[in-house]
């Protein structure tokens, strides 16, 4: 079984996560998604992971990542989303942003781990 290791101590922002995940799977400069939708697509196969789904993602020091990808980073990310989203999505994104700013709601860490579990059930190992 193939194992991909994420060093949670090196994840301070969402961009760090995309970079480290890409490198874990596809080596230096590697790509494995740069947004939640493309990440989910990559996890389904064809972008570096084995086609048979025989892999695990070992997220070491995940508690450091959980803090780094918490509500403040989620709010920062949502501010960018709000600035460029379609007008029909602005109210929903603004509500999510207000929750994140007040320390409530799902965080980026929650979203990423949920995507992994949905697309590669049982592959995530939080250490």
Task: Report if pTM > 0.85.
Answer: yes
Residue 108 has which token pair?
Answer: 């980026």
- Cα–Cα separations (whole angstroms), residue 61 to 9, 64, 72, 101: 6, 6, 19, 25
Yes or no: say if 71 and 93 are a contact pair by the CB < 8 Å rule.
no
Kindly state the tokens that stand for 12: 């301070």
> What class does CATH assign to 2-69+107-126?
alpha beta
Residue 47 DSSP code = S
Nearest CA to 20 out of 43, 30, 52, 115 is that of 30
Q: Where in the chain is the domain with CATH 3.30.370.10?
A: 2-69+107-126
* Residues 13 and 65: beta-carbon distance below 8 Å: no
pLDDT at res. 45: 85
What would the pLDDT profile of 20-53 be if each residue is shown by its tens digit? Answer: 999 999 999 999 999 999 999 999 888 888 877 6
- pLDDT tens series, the chain, 127 aa: 899 999 999 999 999 999 999 999 999 999 999 999 999 999 988 888 887 768 999 999 999 999 999 999 999 999 999 999 999 999 999 999 999 999 999 999 999 999 999 999 999 999 9
Compute the chain's Rg from CA coordinates. 15
Q: 57 with 120: CB under 8 angstroms? A: yes
Q: From 9, 14, 33, select the one nearest 108 (Cα to Cα).
A: 14
What's the pLDDT score for residue 46?
82
Quote the pLDDT of residue 84: 97
């Amino acid at each position: 079984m193939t194992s991909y290791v994420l060093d949670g101590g090196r994840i301070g922002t969402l961009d760090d996560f995309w970079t480290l995940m890409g490198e874990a799977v596809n080596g230096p400069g590697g790509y494995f998604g740069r947004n939640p939708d493309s990440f989910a697509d990559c996890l389904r196969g064809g972008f570096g992971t084995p086609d048979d789904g025989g892999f695990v993602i070992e997220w070491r020091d995940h508690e450091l990542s959980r803090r780094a990808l918490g509500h403040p980073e989620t709010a920062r990310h949502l501010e960018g989303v709000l600035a460029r989203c379609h007008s029909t999505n602005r109210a929903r994104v603004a509500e999510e942003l207000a929750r994140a700013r007040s320390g409530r709601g799902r965080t980026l860490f929650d979203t990423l781990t949920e995507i992994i579990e949905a697309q590669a059930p049982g592959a995530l190992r939080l250490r």
